[in-house]
């Protein structure tokens, strides 16, 4: 349990724009920052970060919150885990409590996997640097590759002893459960004997794989002896903390440099990343353990739209890269290629050259992918017309993947010159390919709609569709009042008192008084929670601070506060729907306050009138005459109240 005082200290130290800036590229947009959502695949940025309010709002997915909820959402952390992560970043000391065996067992599967993976990383590191076997075998391997002590420490590489059960025995003695050790791929059950287990990475050097916040989530293990029965590399199995198709090796260490330089080198192996980093080129990641996936490409796109793919100089390596690069193009990114001399890879080449030579080579040999692909295929085709026709289709097929029409046009012009083919011919082929793809997408979309419709029909007995709230719903007005109070609580407006004199009043006490006087507290449960909290502040004459609502321990209050304070508009969307002209809130705050209160009261009265009329319809007038008269009296009273509601002077009605 983290004390409230420590939570406040962490939240005071943390800057949301700094934290989120570690995970996505943010660009200044007025007083806020804007970027591509890390929670959805969007092409136009709609992810907003407000340093003033210390909140974020993702308009593409609907997610929003403070710095803690962002870390929780992105990294699937618990609340205490997110606070500890922030405390570590901002050097706020909090007391760490050692977990007992009972607590370890009670932890969730996700947290248990994090715990055993962290233990394994420390075990492998210790074996590498503190044991004779680790030093003579594992450390020798890394030193032969030129890795320094600092590099070994930075990437947390390790060694798993060539023993059947040394890791297993150590883990069990320290209270870790077999169930989670198996799920993490750290131990395996023997097929020869029941309830017998052996170490999953025995006799291998270990490359830990980290998530974006630096926690180990999996491992890559390389065998050091020739063994035809064993794979050269062994990777962690899929788990709830490790999805190999959505992870990039080295991204935790590289993301800062990728943002700074606005481009990323993409390589194949662990040692490629480590060698480049040691040399001084740190904006490099690897897709090791899997062919490049769309999820990995989108991960890079959070930080930059520019990728340079590095690959071995052999023809097979070049050809193998084509499919992955086509996927990058389809995501609307800019791609360059660099090939190394035959027999070299990024790791070996970087070890043979100093930083200046390496950077010069990368700069000189980085060519645009489309142009490079055209030249490579043209060389392969020679004078064969059939091969040349085939390569034209292949190149145009890649160009067709590019989302932007201008970019496609530029590439068509360049390839027309390079291939000595008329632009018109290439454009016709391009349009044909794009038409086929668009038709296929439409068919897929129709199929999905049909499937969803069928599923809906099958489950119609069990579920009823809940209609979305309309703009006219009372809760919309409730939220609008809360938004004005939270945004302008201590601002003042001038009102006309009963005696005809003007009074200067603060927004929050005035609006609260209006609601209490007319006995119109809110109907929506969460809105009422927030209003009651505001009333407590007003009664206690305490200042209403946005942070107290945004960082509230009640998740419903926190989420509502973020939603209210991260509106895209100056005033409520529904005013525009009713053709009501809205002027800037801070200039016309009095009008906003009066308009919001009037709309809410008017809507509540209209709702009460409607409910009263419905009661009248249901009653037998002859049998319950007295009850009918009571309902009619109520109706008259409600009609009078509605008539007495004067429209605020600040409202401008458009005809």
**Max Cα distance, the chain (Å):** 102
- 449 pLDDT above the threshold of 60: no
> What is the average pLDDT score of the chain?
83
* Tokens of residue 264, six digits: 């990323």
Burial class (CB in 10 A: 0-12, 13-18, 19+), 191: exposed
User: Each residue of 415-425: b (16+ CB within 10 Å) or e?
Assistant: bbeebebeeee
pLDDT tens-digit readout, 283-334: 999 987 678 999 999 999 988 999 999 987 666 667 777 888 889 998 989 9
Question: Which range, of 340-349, 352-361, 381-390, averages the lowest pLDDT?
Answer: 381-390
Structure confidence at residue 40 (pLDDT):
86
Lowest-confidence range among 82-91, 105-114, 395-404? Answer: 105-114
Q: Residue 205: what are its φ and ψ, rounded to 5°?
A: -80, 145
Residue 467 pLDDT greater than 50, yes or no:
no
- Report the C-alpha dihedral over residues 180, 183, 186, 188, rounded to 10 degrees: 110
**Residues 15-20, mean pLDDT to the nearest whole number:** 93
Asked if 249 contacts 220 with a C-beta cutoff of 8 angstroms, the reply is yes
Q: For residue 154, what pLDDT is reported?
A: 96
Asked if the model's pLDDT at residue 613 lies above 80, the reply is: no
pLDDT > 90: percent of the chain? 37
For residue 47, the 8-state DSSP code is E
Range in 362-376, 470-484, 627-641 with the lowest mean pLDDT: 627-641
Say what the pLDDT of residue 548 is: 85
DSSP tag of 249: B
Q: Are 216 and 156 in contact (CB under 8 A)?
A: yes
One-character DSSP codes across 496-518: E-TTS-EEEEEHHHHHHHHHHHT
Residue 377 has pLDDT above 60, yes or no: yes
What is the C-alpha to C-alpha distance for residues 344 and 336, in angstroms, rounded to an integer? 19
H/E stretch holding 559: helix 555-565
**Could you tell me the pLDDT band of residue 547, with boundaries at 50, 70 and 90?**
confident
Using CA atoms in the order 487, 490, 496, 499, what is the torsion angle rounded to 10 degrees?
A: 150
Average pLDDT, integer, range 126-143 = 96
Q: What is the pLDDT of residue 571?
A: 41
Three-state SS letters, 206-229: EEEEECCCCCEEEEEEEECCCCCC
Superfamily of domain covering 4-89: Zinc finger, CHC2-typedomain (3.90.580.10)
Asked if 112 and 156 touch (Cβ cutoff 8 Å), the reply is: no
Torsion angle of alpha carbons 75, 77, 80, 81, nearest 10°? -60
pLDDT tens profile 153-190: 999 999 999 999 999 999 999 999 999 999 999 999 98
Stretch among 109-113, 126-130, 225-229 having the lowest mean pLDDT: 225-229
More confident residue, 332 or 635: 332
* CATH top class, domain 100-242: alpha beta
Spatial CB neighbours of 505, under 8 Å, sequence gap ≥ 6? 492, 493, 494, 495
71 CB burial (10 A radius; 0-12, 13-18, 19+): buried
Contact 174, 379 (CB under 8 A): no
- pLDDT score of 654 more than 80: no
Asked if residue 210 has pLDDT above 90, the reply is yes
The pLDDT of residue 573: 42
pLDDT score of 457 more than 70: no
Evaluate if residue 418 carries a pLDDT over 90: no
| More confident of the two residues 391 and 460 | 391
């Amino acid at each position: 349990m983290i004390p409230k005082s420590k939570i406040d200290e962490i939240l005071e130290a943390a800057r949301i724009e700094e934290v989120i800036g570690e995970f996505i590229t943010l660009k200044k947009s007025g007083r806020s920052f804007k970027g591509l959502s890390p929670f959805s695949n969007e092409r136009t940025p709609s992810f907003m970060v407000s340093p003033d309010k210390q909140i974020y709002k993702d308009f593409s997915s609907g997610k929003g919150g403070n710095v803690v909820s962002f870390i929780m959402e992105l990294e699937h952390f618990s609340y205490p885990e997110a606070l500890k992560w922030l405390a570590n970043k901002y050097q706020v000391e909090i007391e760490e409590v050692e977990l007992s065996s009972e607590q370890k067992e009670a932890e969730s599967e996700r947290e248990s996997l994090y715990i055993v993976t962290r233990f394994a990383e420390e075990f492998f590191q210790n074996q590498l640097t503190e044991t004779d076997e680790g030093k003579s075998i594992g450390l020798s391997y890394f030193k032969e590759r030129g890795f320094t002590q600092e590099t070994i420490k930075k990437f947390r590489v390790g060694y798993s002893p060539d023993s059947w059960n040394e890791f297993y025995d150590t883990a069990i003695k320290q209270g870790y459960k077999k169930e989670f050790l198996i799920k993490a791929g750290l131990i395996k059950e023997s097929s020869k004997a029941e309830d017998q287990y052996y170490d999953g990475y025995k006799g291998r050097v270990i490359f830990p794989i980290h998530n974006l916040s630096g926690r180990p989530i999996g491992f890559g293990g390389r065998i050091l002896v020739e063994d035809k029965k064993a794979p050269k590399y062994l990777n962690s199995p899929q788990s709830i903390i490790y999805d190999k198709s959505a992870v990039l090796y080295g991204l935790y260490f590289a993301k800062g440099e990728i943002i700074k330089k606005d481009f990323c080198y993409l390589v194949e192996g662990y040692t490629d990343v480590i060698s480049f980093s040691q040399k001084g080129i740190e904006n490099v990641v690897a897709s090791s353990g899997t062919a490049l996936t769309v999820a990995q490409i989108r991960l890079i796109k959070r930080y930059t739209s520019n990728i340079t793919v590095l690959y071995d100089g052999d023809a097979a390596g070049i050809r193998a890269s084509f499919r992955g690069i086509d996927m990058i193009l389809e995501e609307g990114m800019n791609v360059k290629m660099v090939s190394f001399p035959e027999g070299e890879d990024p790791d070996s080449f970087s070890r043979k050259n100093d930083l200046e030579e390496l950077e010069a080579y990368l700069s000189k040999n980085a060519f645009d992918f489309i142009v490079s692909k055209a030249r490579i295929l043209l060389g392969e085709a020679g004078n064969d017309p059939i091969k040349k026709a085939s390569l034209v289709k292949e190149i145009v097929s890649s160009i067709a993947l590019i989302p932007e029409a201008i970019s496609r046009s530029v590439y068509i012009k360049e390839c027309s010159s390079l291939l000595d083919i008329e632009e018109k011919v290439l454009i016709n082929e391009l349009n044909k390919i794009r038409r086929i793809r668009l038709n296929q997408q439409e068919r897929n979309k129709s199929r999905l709609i049909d499937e969803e419709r069928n599923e809906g029909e099958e489950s119609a007995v069990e579920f009823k569709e809940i209609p979305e709230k309309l703009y006219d719903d009372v809760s919309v007005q409730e939220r609008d009042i809360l938004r004005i109070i939270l945004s302008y609580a201590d601002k003042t407006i001038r009102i006309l008192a009963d005696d005809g004199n003007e009074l200067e009043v603060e927004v929050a006490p005035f609006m609260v008084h209006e609601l209490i006087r007319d006995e119109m507290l809110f109907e929506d449960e969460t809105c009422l929670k927030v209003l009651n909290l505001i009333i407590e502040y007003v009664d206690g004459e305490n200042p209403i601070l946005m942070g107290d609502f945004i960082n509230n321990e009640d998740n419903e209050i926190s989420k509502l506060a973020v939603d209210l304070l991260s509106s895209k508009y100056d005033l409520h969307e529904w005013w525009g729907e009713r053709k009501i002209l809205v002027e800037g809130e801070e200039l016309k705050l009095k009008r906003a306050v009066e308009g919001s209160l009037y709309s809410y009261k008017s809507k509540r009265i209209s709702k009460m009138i409607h409910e009263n009329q419905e009661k009248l319809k249901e009653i037998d007038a002859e049998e319950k005459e007295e009850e009918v008269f009571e309902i009619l009296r109520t109706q008259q009273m409600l009609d009078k109240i509605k008539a007495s509601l004067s429209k605020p002077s600040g409202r401008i009605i458009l005809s």
